[in-house]
């Protein structure tokens, strides 16, 4: 039995590489720009009408356009949030979510198939880790949604399945392609990366000259508890993490957003809020409170309205910028990891 040869994804090619490929196939350089225009609009080779047929045929034999197949699409009746289960070339699945805000469309993309980080509250890690996504596969999620809904996504958050800084090279390559005006043309200000706290990579990212918005998932201000909830804290405890965040702010000028999912009886006490104030006081930052999403098997429940409000009040009184995140797509399980897990379970039955 012979394995099918793996087709190369043209979305993995940046501008220069696509030009080199085009000329190596005997075509003039301007054809690369035409090809890229089609690829970014999610068009199949057959419909790339301004390219010579021989060129299209050659491409089709050895390459794919990188647009992903839509396995499932759920639209929220409450707020129009759309959640996608997308199928990659090798049959793996990732999830992407599209949200509509006053300022336009924002996409939440996945960066890995599964996750290694093992956070106790998170659905993405339960099904285990399979592999990293390539830059083109991350880009492909955006292009697939743009094409499907005939829209132009203007903001991207890397907050889907996976730990972006655990897939450092591909994610940085993706960021470069996303901000390239020959690519998606999305500025770093409108690109957000969310991390569970890989301190070394945060510092490395701060030196790339790519000042993306950094979100850090904090969830507890106490080392012992944070290590229980988030194993990454054993390697990078809070002082190391917050030092790295300071360096990020110093090098990029960007304020950090700290994500804090409030879980009833776990991390929603006044003592937690007070400790958080003392950790973050005087830093250029912002805290985003999120009532935890229920994930089967975790046993965690959302904090009560009363506790959420008093938590918020303590932070605000301590001089910390704080917002309560609006939950979008509640009726379609828009929190990531759940669709992929369900699909895997279906297939195993």
**Site residues, ligand SAH (CB under 6 A):** 121-122, 159, 163, 194-196, 217, 259, 261, 290, 292-293, 295, 335
The CA distance from 332 to 76, in Å, is 6
Residue 192: closest CA among 145, 257, 139: 257
Residue (32 or 285) nearer to ligand SAH, CB: 285
- C-beta of 305: minimal distance to ligand SAH in Å? 16
Residue (10 or 138) nearer to ligand SAH, CB: 138
Residue (63 or 121) nearer to ligand SAH, CB: 121
- Is 95 noted as a catalytic residue in this protein? yes
- C-beta of 194: minimal distance to ligand SAH in Å? 4
- C-beta of 163: minimal distance to ligand SAH in Å? 4
The residues, ordered by sequence, that sit 6+ positions from 176 with a Cβ below 8 Å of its Cβ are: 14, 210
- C-beta of 287: minimal distance to ligand SAH in Å? 12
Let me know: does 10 contact 59? Beta carbons within 8 Å: yes
Residue (65 or 134) nearer to ligand SAH, CB: 134
Let me know: does 235 contact 193? Beta carbons within 8 Å: no
Q: Among residues 115, 188, 196, 336, which one is catalytic?
A: 336
Residue 55: closest CA among 29, 20, 31, 30: 31
The SS3 call for residue 262 is strand
Q: Which two tokens stand for residue 277?
A: 């104030």
Residue (190 or 195) nearer to ligand SAH, CB: 195
Pairing mode, strands 8-9 and 104-108: unpaired
Please report which helix (H) or strand (E) contains residue 267, including its range. none
DSSP 69: E
The residues, ordered by sequence, that sit 6+ positions from 331 with a Cβ below 8 Å of its Cβ are: 76, 77, 78
Let me know: does 36 contact 15? Beta carbons within 8 Å: yes
In sequence order, the β-bridge partners of residue 75 are: 82
DSSP secondary structure string, 40-57?
HTT--GGG-TTS-HHHHH
- C-beta of 125: minimal distance to ligand SAH in Å? 9
- C-beta of 195: minimal distance to ligand SAH in Å? 5
Residue (21 or 188) nearer to ligand SAH, CB: 188
- C-beta of 167: minimal distance to ligand SAH in Å? 10
Let me know: does 10 contact 18? Beta carbons within 8 Å: yes
The SS3 call for residue 298 is coil
Q: How far is CA 265 from the centre of its chain?
A: 29
- Is 53 noted as a catalytic residue in this protein? no
Residue (190 or 194) nearer to ligand SAH, CB: 194
Q: Among residues 19, 95, 137, 163, which one is catalytic?
A: 95
CB atoms within 10 A of CB 187: 13
Catalytic residues: 95, 336
């Amino acid at each position: 039995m012979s394995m099918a040869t793996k087709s190369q994804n043209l979305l993995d090619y940046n501008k220069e590489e696509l030009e080199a490929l085009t000329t190596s196939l005997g075509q003039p350089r301007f054809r690369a720009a035409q090809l890229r225009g089609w690829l970014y609009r999610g068009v199949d080779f057959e419909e790339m009408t301004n390219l010579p047929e021989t060129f299209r045929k050659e491409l089709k034999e050895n390459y794919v356009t990188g647009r992903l197949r839509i396995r499932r699409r759920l639209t929220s009746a409450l707020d129009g949030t759309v959640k996608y289960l997308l199928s990659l070339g090798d049959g793996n699945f990732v999830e992407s979510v599209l949200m509509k805000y006053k300022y336009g469309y924002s996409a939440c993309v996945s960066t890995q198939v599964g996750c290694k980080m093992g956070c106790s509250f998170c659905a993405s890690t339960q099904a285990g880790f399979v592999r990293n996504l390539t830059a083109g596969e991350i880009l492909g999620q955006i292009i697939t949604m743009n094409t499907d809904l005939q829209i132009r996504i203007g903001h991207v958050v890397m907050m889907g399945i996976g730990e972006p800084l655990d897939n450092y090279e591909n994610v940085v390559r993706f960021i470069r392609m996303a901000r390239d005006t020959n690519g998606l043309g999305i500025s770093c200000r409108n690109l957000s990366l969310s991390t569970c706290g890989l301190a070394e990579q945060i510092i490395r990212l701060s030196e790339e000259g790519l000042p993306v918005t950094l979100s850090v998932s904090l969830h507890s201000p106490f080392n012992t508890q944070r290590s229980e909830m988030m194993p990454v804290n054993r390697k990078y405890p809070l002082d190391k993490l917050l030092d790295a965040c300071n360096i990020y702010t110093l090098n990029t000028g960007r304020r950090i957003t700290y994500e804090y999912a409030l879980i009833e009886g776990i991390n929603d006490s006044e003592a937690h809020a007070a400790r958080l104030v003392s950790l973050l006081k005087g830093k250029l930052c912002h805290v985003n409170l999120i009532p935890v999403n229920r994930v089967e098997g975790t046993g965690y429940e959302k904090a009560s309205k009363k506790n959420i409000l008093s938590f918020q009040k303590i932070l605000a009184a301590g001089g910390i910028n704080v917002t309560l995140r609006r939950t979008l797509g509640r009726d379609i399980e828009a929190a990531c990891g759940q669709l992929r897990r369900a699909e895997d379970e279906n297939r195993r039955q």
